[in-house]
Amino acid sequence: DGGITQSPKYLFRKEGQNVTLSCEQNLNHDAMYWYRQDPGQGLRLIYYSQIVNDFQKGDIAEGYSVSREKKESFPLTVTSAQKNPTAFYLCASSPRDRGGYTFGSGTRLTVV
């Protein structure tokens, strides 16, 4: 079945370390997105990509970086510059025809 796979489900990081969250989709969707979810704040867009080798900043891109070398993959790196990285991270993808987003099951990142 087609879908989006995020890994790992849980991730622990020491302060000062970079960490990369994986997102892979086999839906042949063109666009991919990264959201951050905090309690009481809904979903906030970090980065998005419409095509391979191109991506744009969302509303809260500071302290994050992404790449889009393949259509299927959109990894997110949480850098040491992100001041409060502990959160639930969601990856999503969408087709060209306003089909709505398909979400992965999320990665919970905790800084220890």
Partner 1 sequence: AQSVTQPDIHITVSEGASLELRCNYSYGATPYLFWYVQSPGQGLQLLLKYFSGDTLVQGIKGFEAEFKRSQSSFNLRKPSVHWSDAAEYFCAVGMKTSYDKVIFGPGTSLSVIP
- Does 1 bind partner 1 (CB under 8 A)? Our answer is no
Give CA–CA dist 17/33, Å, rounded.
Answer: 23
User: Does residue 31 bind partner 1 (CB under 8 A)?
Assistant: yes
Stretch that binds partner 1, among 11-19, 37-45, 68-76, 78-86 (CB under 8 A): 37-45
Tokens of 44: 């906030």
- Cβ neighbors of 50 (< 8 A, separation 6 or more) are 30, 31, 56
Closest separation in Å from C-beta 100 to partner 1: 5
Q: Which residues contact 32 (CB under 8 A, 6 or more apart)?
A: 23, 25, 48, 49, 68, 74, 91, 92, 93
Q: Is 74 in the site for partner 1 (CB under 8 A)?
A: no
Asked if 4 touches partner 1 (CB under 8 A), the answer is yes
Interaction site with partner 1 (CB under 8 A): 4, 6, 31, 40-43, 48, 50, 56, 88, 90, 92, 94, 96, 98-106, 108
